[in-house]
Structure 1
């Protein structure tokens, strides 16, 4: 989705919704993003096969609005592994 289109939709919705409700929505979204950012900052990425990976991935999406990429690591032979 184009960023300009998202901004237009957001501006339209904020114009339709009453000011006090829009302010509350923005405050809640800001708090959620901030909390998720703090959690992701201090929580090391778990292994993709672990149970906590799905939760970590959801928190990462809420914190940064993009999906996490798998980090490629090179072993001592120079081969890339996931």
Structure 2
């Protein structure tokens, strides 16, 4: 999507949505991103095979707006990387 088009859509939506509602939306999104960032900061990444990994991955996406990369735990010759 072109950046200019995205800005036009954003400006249109800000013009349509009343100011107090737009302010509330911004406040909620900001609080959600902040809380998710704190959770990711202090919660060690679980093993990718764990059931909690999906929840951790969701928090990571909400905090950074990108998917986490899984670190490699073994080298090509099968030795564990520390």
Q: Quickly say closer, same or farther: Cα 1:55–1:8, change in 2 above 3 A.
A: farther
Query: Which one has the largest radius of gyration?
Result: 2
**Higher strand fraction (1 or 2):** 1
CA deviation after TM superposition for structure 1 residue 15, in Å: 1.7
Aligned to 1:14: 14
Deviations 1:44-67 (A, max 9, x none): 100011010000000000000000
Q: Gapped runs of 5+ residues in structure 2?
A: none
TM-score when normalising by structure 2: 0.80
- RMSD across aligned C-alpha pairs, in angstroms? 2.4
Tell me the number of residue pairs that the alignment of Structure 1 and Structure 2 aligns. Answer: 79
Segments of 4+ moved more than 6 angstroms: none
Q: Gapped runs of 5+ residues in structure 1?
A: none
Q: Could you tell me how far apart the structure 1 residues matched to 2:80 and 2:11 are?
A: 45
CA deviation after TM superposition for structure 1 residue 72, in Å: 1.8
